Amino acid sequence: MSLSLHDSATGQVRSFEPLTPGRVGIYQCGATVQSAPHIGHLRPAVVFDILRRWLERSGHQVRFIRNVTDIDDKILNKAAAAGQPWWAWAGHWERAFTAAYDALGVRPPTYEPRATGVVPDMVAFIDRLMARGHAYAGRPGNVYFDVRSYPDYGSLTHQRLEDLISIEDEPEAEDKRDPHDFALWKAVKPSEPADAAWDTPWGRGRPGWHLECSTMALRYLGETFDIHGGGIDLRFPHHENEQAQSRAAGYAFARHWVHNAFVTQAGVKMSKSLGNTLLASELLKQAPPQVVRYVLTAAHYRSTLEFSESTLPEAAAAWERIAGFVRRAGERVGAGQPVAEAALPPGFAAAMDDDLGTTAALAEVHEAVRRGNTALAEYDDSLALEALIEVRAMLAALGLDPLASGWIDSASASSKTEAALAALVESQLEARAAARAARDFAAADSIRARLAAAGIQVEDSPAGSTWELTPP
């Protein structure tokens, strides 16, 4: 069975055939680095990392592009409010995104271009659109795409132009011919820093958001490439506008569109404006990175992921069943052969080929873990090794192999932290036992109260005192 993927342009799951056999070009819309990354940003990063891994596991060579939007209105405004240069503000948050991706085992893209690095390409792109009658200059520094010049506008999202309202940043701009037209180039504003603009034949300004991605896709993947995508919130207007301007310029552009669904909390989409974001830094304080990645893998990428108080604990329990088996089996029978060379169970491969069916794929993982645990209990080392190899091979395809180097480093750091905590708690329990033996119950109670305040629950029994972390 070959890979089938849902195509957002057709609304159907269809067979994926790369433009060049054995080679795949992917463009994922990356971050606008205006503030800290949250779980809504992490989901597409993990989804496209899994897609890339599965294509490579299936024998394809993948060129993966994920851009960085390092200049836009929000970056300029937030940097100004913080009293920082806009480029320093963008650079700080770009590093935060990279750290979050790295923590979750998201592999670096083949290239990660910044919008500010391709300004000459953007100017050439605008010039081409103007020559073909699809763009026009407004007041000095402004250039717009003429939506009505492109009859196929709206084809990606299946909308008619007459039914659309403009949701551009400045829909009221007086120099637009039509409210639906969107900015290719934006004139510099008096309040903006002088170094946040470039000279062009049409006046000094900076790029429009949609133009950036079309230009970077062209430069790094060519006139036609295989897959374009990101979060479903980008379908309109961003991806619709990208497709329109690229095809109006004479390029075939993306052959297949892939979009992941929202992450919601209490039924509401994650949004900075609503204040309901789950920041990556906070998530990684609450749970190990493997658990966070498991959460983002367990739900099918086109299904809404509802995040609640039980999400992380449930994922942690599921992950521990998997990682616990790998640990126990590895101690008993060894780690097994290199996972890249191991055959995958047919059920797992079929699930992944069916529109990246990670939910069904993880069910195959848990079934193999069940068989492996049974084999360990029955001291059947041969079957245990077979299950271990299968489990690790499947997890590697999902970026979740517990024995992969990144996860091992994380687990090692976690083990050191746990060992240090245990040593400190045990010393406090010894001091408490000495106080009780001396009948200094006030001191003993004080120690117990300090431990409880730190989230450590102490249980006394005739055999002595034990402790555990208070459940979240």
Specify the number of domains making up the chain. 3
Please indicate, yes or no, whether residues 398 and 414 belong to a single structural domain of this protein.
no
Res 472: pLDDT: 44
Mapped onto helix, strand or coil, the DSSP state of residue 227 is strand
Please indicate, yes or no, whether residues 39 and 91 belong to a single structural domain of this protein.
yes
* Residue 267, domain member (yes or no): no
Rounded to whole angstroms, how far apart are CA atoms 31 and 45? 10
Res 412: pLDDT: 47
Domain stops at, among 381, 403, 425: 403
Please indicate, yes or no, whether residues 396 and 417 belong to a single structural domain of this protein.
no
Domain stops at, among 260, 292, 319: 260
CB 72 within 8 A of CB 128: no
Encode pLDDT of 450-465 as tens digits.
Answer: 988 888 878 776 656 7
Please indicate, yes or no, whether residues 48 and 139 belong to a single structural domain of this protein.
yes
Please indicate, yes or no, whether residues 241 and 347 belong to a single structural domain of this protein.
no
φ/ψ of 387, rounded to 5, equals -65, -40
Read off the CATH number of the domain in which 140 is found.
3.40.50.620
Per-residue burial over 160-199, b = 16 or more CB atoms within 10 Å of its CB, e = otherwise: eeeebebebeeeebeebeeebbbbbbbbbeeebeeebbbe
Instruction: Output the average pLDDT for the chain.
Output: 89
Rounded to whole angstroms, how far apart are CA atoms 188 and 3? 46
First to last CA, the chain: 44
Mention every residue, 6+ apart, whose C-beta is less than 8 A from residue 364. Answer: 345, 347, 348, 351, 394
Bigger pLDDT: 342 or 76? 76
Mean pLDDT, residues 20-49 taken together: 95
Res 408: pLDDT: 53
Q: Which of 234, 232, 360 is nearest to 297 (CA)?
A: 360
φ/ψ of 421, rounded to 5, equals -60, -45
Is the pLDDT at 328 greater than 70? The verdict is yes
* Residue 56, domain member (yes or no): yes
Mean pLDDT, residues 397-420 taken together: 67
Please indicate, yes or no, whether residues 297 and 398 belong to a single structural domain of this protein.
yes
Is the pLDDT at 76 greater than 50? The verdict is yes
User: Given pLDDT bands bounded at 50, 70 and 90, which one contains residue 343?
Assistant: confident
Encode pLDDT of 153-167 as tens digits.
Answer: 999 999 988 888 765
CB 402 within 8 A of CB 329: no
Q: Which of 145, 141, 113, 140 is nearest to 126 (CA)?
A: 145
CB 115 within 8 A of CB 148: no
Q: Which of 333, 320, 327, 318 is nearest to 386 (CA)?
A: 333
DSSP H or E stretch at residue 14: strand 12-15
Encode pLDDT of 123-139 as tens digits.
Answer: 999 999 999 999 999 99
* Residue 339, domain member (yes or no): yes
* Residue 274, domain member (yes or no): no
Res 168: pLDDT: 60
Rounded to whole angstroms, how far apart are CA atoms 129 and 131? 5
Encode pLDDT of 377-397 as tens digits.
Answer: 888 999 999 999 999 999 999
289-298 and 405-437 helices cross at what angle (nearest 10)? Answer: 120
Instruction: Give percent of the chain above pLDDT 90.
Output: 71
CB 253 within 8 A of CB 246: yes
Res 304: pLDDT: 94
Domain stops at, among 225, 260, 295: 260
Please indicate, yes or no, whether residues 308 and 173 belong to a single structural domain of this protein.
no
Instruction: Give percent of the chain above pLDDT 70.
Output: 89
Please give the residue range of the domain that contains residue 388. Answer: 283-403
Mean pLDDT, residues 410-414 taken together: 49
Please indicate, yes or no, whether residues 419 and 465 belong to a single structural domain of this protein.
yes
* Residue 125, domain member (yes or no): yes
User: Given pLDDT bands bounded at 50, 70 and 90, which one contains residue 270?
Assistant: low
Res 99: pLDDT: 95
Rounded to whole angstroms, how far apart are CA atoms 416 and 413? 5
The whole-model pTM stands at: 0.84
